[in-house]
Amino acid sequence: MSGEDVAFDMIRSSIVLVLSEKPLHGYGIMKEVENRIGKPVNPSLLYPFLKQLEKNDLVRSTKKPVGQKPKNIYELTTTGRELAVRIYKRIASMVSLAIEPNLSICFHCSCKIYEGGYREVIGERELVFCCVHCAQAYKNELSSTQPSEETRERMLE
C-alpha cells in the first residue's frame, strides 16, 4: 500500500467522521477536515467522493440558503452513521493492536480475536475476521464505499 493510498483513505475517513458530528456544506467539510489532518482537501477529491456516498445512500444532500445563495448541505443517513461508527471502532482497534501485539481484531466488527479467526486476502492484504460472515460483510461494504476505477483515475490525473 503506497503512502498516497493511506493519505487518500485517511481523507475519506475524515470526511465521514466530520459529517457524523454535524451536517455541513462542501466548503465546511473542507475546513473541518483540514483542521483535523492539517492538509487541505482537494475539491476534485471531495465532490466525487460525496457523490459516491450519496449514490450509495450513505449521505444525503439538501439545498439550503447559506449567506446569499443556496448551497448543498450534506448529512449522513442512518447507514452513513453506521459506517462512521465502524470507522471509529477501527481506529480504536488499531490502538488496541499497537499495545497488545498478540491480539487480532476482526476487520469488520472490530471484536477481539484471541485465538483462530478467519483470514482472507482482500486487495493484496491478508485481513483477519472473526468469521466468514464478517469477511463477506466487509467485502460488501468495501464495494459500496470504494470509488470506481474510473473515479480513482480521474482523481489521479
Number of residues that bind Zn ion (CB under 5 A): 5
Residue written as cell 450513505?
Answer: 58
Minimum distance of Zn ion from residue 70's CB (angstroms): 43
Q: Would you state the cell numbers that stand for residue 146, as one nine-digit string?
A: 470504494
134 binds Zn ion (CB under 5 A): yes
Q: Which lies closer to Zn ion via its Cβ, residue 53 or residue 134? A: 134
User: For residues 23 and 38, what is the distance between their CA atoms, to the nearest angstrom?
Assistant: 21
**Number of Cα atoms under 13 Å in the Cβ half of residue 146:** 12
105 binds Zn ion (CB under 5 A): no
128 binds Zn ion (CB under 5 A): no
For residue 63, the cross-strand partners are 72
Q: Would you state the cell numbers that stand for residue 97, as one nine-digit string?
A: 493492536
Q: Would you state the cell numbers that stand for residue 39, as one nine-digit string?
A: 492538509
Minimum distance of Zn ion from residue 121's CB (angstroms): 17
Q: Which lies closer to Zn ion via its Cβ, residue 71 or residue 108? A: 108
User: For residues 51 and 46, what is the distance between their CA atoms, to the nearest angstrom?
Assistant: 9
109 binds Zn ion (CB under 5 A): yes
Which region among 5-13, 18-26, 48-56, 104-112 touches Zn ion (by CB under 5 A)?
A: 104-112
Residue ranges that bind Zn ion, judged by CB under 5 A? 106, 108-109, 130, 134
